[in-house]
Amino acid sequence: MFYYLDGTVAEILPHLAVIDCGGVGYACKTTDNTLAALKKGAQKKLYTFLHVAENLFELYGFATQRELRSFRLLLGVSGVGPKAALAILSSGTPESLAMAIVTGDEKSLTAAPGVGKKIAQRIILELKDKMAKETGGELDFSKGKGSASPTPFTSKASEAAQALAVLGYTSQETSAALKGLDPELSLEELIRQALKRMAKL
């Protein structure tokens, strides 16, 4: 229904931002990361999600499309509601969520208030399977042409590709961004460098 709101930040409250668009104040529930990017009185665009339940209409807003996509992915996991999704994204970033999923890091997810071990395990299980399907299996990110058999680096790059898929990038985009990166980089740094490359495109 709403794709984004582009207006003046009228109020900044705990877990809530009010965006004034043409004299109408839209209350958007949001994450600590998005709130940190807002300044009262400044112009700001928030990408939105309308949650509709029985007798309930709640608008959620995010400073980036990556955060919105991560929020939608979390809502797709059975047992995860908007409150838990916001808590997870407030305790980290879309990038750290992607890392937690591909590496099976339950602790980083349970660091969010109200998120227990069972929910964390379910998030990792369901989203890791989803991302594996979206990336279409292992890709070749080796440095040279006509490279031989897969190496630990290609396996690491495949994990990085899955993490980037969580953030909404296609296999073509991730392949181009990861190609030629230093195989000695950690998985986290590999993802960070790939994101820097894609930001320049």
Residue (of 61, 57, 58) closest to 6 by Cα position:
61
- What pLDDT, on the 0 to 100 scale, is given for residue 142? 44
The average confidence (pLDDT) of the chain is 84
- Under a CB-based contact definition with an 8 Å cutoff, are residues 50 and 105 in contact? no
Q: For 154-189, what is each residue's pLDDT tens digit? A: 577 888 888 888 777 888 888 888 888 887 888 888
- What pLDDT, on the 0 to 100 scale, is given for residue 94? 87
Burial class (CB in 10 A: 0-12, 13-18, 19+), 3: exposed
Query: Which residues does residue 47 pair with via DSSP β-bridges, in sequence order?
Result: 4, 62
Residue with token string 């529930």: 29
State which residues of the chain have pLDDT below 50: 137-153
- What pLDDT, on the 0 to 100 scale, is given for residue 170? 82
Rounded to whole angstroms, the Cα distance separating 46 from 114 reads 25
* Residue 123 phi, psi dihedral angles, 5° rounding: -60, -50
- What pLDDT, on the 0 to 100 scale, is given for residue 168? 75
DSSP-derived letter for residue 21 is E
- Under a CB-based contact definition with an 8 Å cutoff, are residues 115 and 127 in contact? no
- What pLDDT, on the 0 to 100 scale, is given for residue 143? 42
- Under a CB-based contact definition with an 8 Å cutoff, are residues 197 and 189 in contact? no
* pTM passes above 0.85: no
Angle, vertex CA 113, rays to CA 97 and CA 95, nearest 5: 10
Burial class (CB in 10 A: 0-12, 13-18, 19+), 132: middle
